[in-house]
Amino acid sequence: MPSAEVLPEARRQMEICNACRYCEGYCAVFPAMMRRREFTDADLDYLANLCHGCRACFPACQYAPPHEFAVNVPQALSALRADSYARYAWPGPLAALYRKNGVVVAAATSLGIALVFGLMLALRPEALSTPATGEGAFYAVIPWAVMAGTAGVAAAFSLLALTIGAVRFWRGTGGGVAKGGAAAQAAHAVLTLRYLGGGHGGQDGCNDTGERFSQKRRRFHHLLFYGFGLCFASTTIAFGYDHYLHWAAPYPLTSLPVLCGTLGGIGMTLGCAGLLWLKRIEDPAPTAKAVLGSEYALLWLLLAAAATGLLLMAVRETALMGSLLALHLGVILSFLVLAPYSKMVHGLYRGLALLRSATEERNDQ
Ligand code: SF4
Ligand code: SF4
């Protein structure tokens, strides 16, 4: 659904909510909404990204369908959120990648895997079937310069695109300077996923399957979030070992990068599998159909990254190591390139929306 439809629909629903205000204690969206009498496009982008999709305000709403007002805040805000990702993306022409995002992610991942296998076949064809063990074994399969150079260029582009997207989002939703202390408050909300807490002061959880509250979504999301953080730490430490200590991978099973990577990979696998399972059983009504493809695509991509990493660890002493390394690097390369054009940006924009919310809250005091 293009902006011309999602923005007026979100505005209509926010105006009804602003008159009703029954859900004012559910999350940060409602206090932010109540600070406004009118909703500009910028306000709506901010509110949409402040919403965590906990769904608590849907079963609670007396104006939800079949009422003629047809209020469905989680659905309207999820549609607008997806639309905002495309509008703030950089460079602009690549925003088209958000449309049919499931197909784009699947195609790009296949391409990434094919590219790494192609590179390996061109440079070290024998490595696909010959076991390589000991220090530097990975680089006997794919030379360090090729591995680091390709990943470095992809990561640098991704970081640039994400940074410009974040600046555009911040300016586009009002700009300004965050109030002192607001960053710590926003960071606490991010790290605890406070607003996946739903009603009753954020203690109940989400309404995945109807009126019953559950903490499952929050716990699976925590596993994925902290698992991802551990995998990132593992890669950073391994880079430090290689670059500063000249100690080449693969590292012993008890080393810090392997421990962080293993724990992180298990956390990501459980988190992704749990969130995919929730998608199968959840009530579809509070989610915009247009966003489902991108949500499934990101979860499958992260699951593939974690699972291939764990498998690589398991077979690294065997002849399968070369193939698994190519598969894992292909998935990671795709993830790096796709990060600014996938649902991955939700963490960044939601964090900034929480920062704005915390600043507004402090301005009220
Ligand atoms: S979601 Fe429904 S009940 Fe809640 S504030 Fe909006 S209109 Fe009122
Ligand atoms: S779905 Fe949850 S986070 Fe989003 S507006 Fe409703 S109560 Fe708030």
DSSP string, 205-272: -B-SSSS--BSHHHHHHHHHHHHHHHHHHHHHHHHHHHHHS--PSSPPTTSHHHHHHHHHHHHHHHHH
Residue 41 three-state SS? helix
pTM as predicted = 0.92
| Virtual torsion, Cα 270, 271, 273, 276, nearest 10 deg | 170
- Whether 307 lines ligand 2, by a CB cut-off of 6 Å, is no
Please tell me the distance between residue 94's alpha carbon and the centre of ligand 1 in angstroms: 36
266 in any annotated domain: yes
pLDDT at residue 93, rounded to an integer:
92
- Does 363 reside within a domain? no
Counted domains in the chain:
2
- 201 and 173 assigned to the same domain: yes
- Tell me, yes or no, whether 84 and 134 share the same domain: no
Based on the domain organization, do 236 and 303 belong to the same domain? yes
Spatial contact of 355 and 57, defined as CB atoms under 8 Å apart: no
- The answer to whether residues 30 and 169 belong to one domain is no
CA of 60, closest atom in ligand 1? 3
Residue 83, number of CB atoms within 10 A of its CB: 25
> Is 167 within a domain?
yes
Question: Both 24 and 148 in a single domain?
Answer: no
For residues 176 and 56, state if they share a domain.
no
Domain span including residue 271 = 99-345
Q: Quick one: pLDDT at residue 302?
A: 97
| Among protein residues, the one whose CA lies closest to atom 2 of ligand 2 | 54
Place of tokens 């390394």: 325
How high is the pLDDT of residue 163? Answer: 97
Distance 57 CA to ligand 2 centre (A): 6
Q: Are 116 and 330 in contact (CB under 8 A)?
A: yes
Annotate 143-188 with DSSP letters as a single string.
Answer: -HHHHHHHHHHHHHHHHHHHHHHHHHHHHHTT---PPTTHHHHHHH
Give whole-number Cα distances, 209 to 3, 70, 194, 306, in Å: 29, 19, 20, 28
Q: Is residue 187 part of a domain?
A: yes
> How close is the Cα of 211 to the center of ligand 2, in Å?
14
State whether residue 45 is helix, strand or coil. Answer: helix
- Does residue 194 come out as left (phi exceeding 0), alpha (psi in the -120 to 50 range) or beta? alpha
Per residue of the chain (365 residues), give pLDDT as tens. 567 899 999 999 999 999 999 999 899 999 999 999 999 999 999 999 999 999 999 999 999 999 999 999 999 999 999 999 999 999 999 988 988 888 999 999 999 999 999 988 888 888 777 777 778 888 888 888 888 899 999 999 999 999 999 999 999 999 888 878 999 999 999 999 999 876 655 668 899 888 889 999 999 999 999 999 999 999 999 999 988 999 988 899 999 999 999 999 999 999 999 999 999 999 999 999 989 999 999 999 999 999 999 999 999 988 899 999 999 999 999 999 999 999 999 999 999 999 999 999 998 87
> Are 82 and 107 within one domain?
no
**Radius of gyration over every alpha carbon of the chain, rounded to an integer in angstroms:** 22
Note whether residue 42 is domain-resident.
yes
CA atoms within 13 A on the CB side of 54: 30
Asked if residue 233 and residue 113 are part of one domain, the reply reads yes
One domain for residues 144 and 284: yes
The letter for the amino acid at 323 is: S
Residue that finishes a domain, picked among 42, 67, 88: 88
- The answer to whether residue 362 sits within a structural domain is no
Whether 16 and 137 share a structural domain: no
306 belongs to a structural domain? yes
Residue 8 included in any domain? yes
- Give 99's strand partners: none
Q: Write out residues with Cβ below 6 Å of ligand 1.
A: 16-17, 20-23, 57, 60-63, 71, 73
- Taking the centre of ligand 2 as the mean of its atom positions, its distance from the CA of residue 293, in whole angstroms, is 21
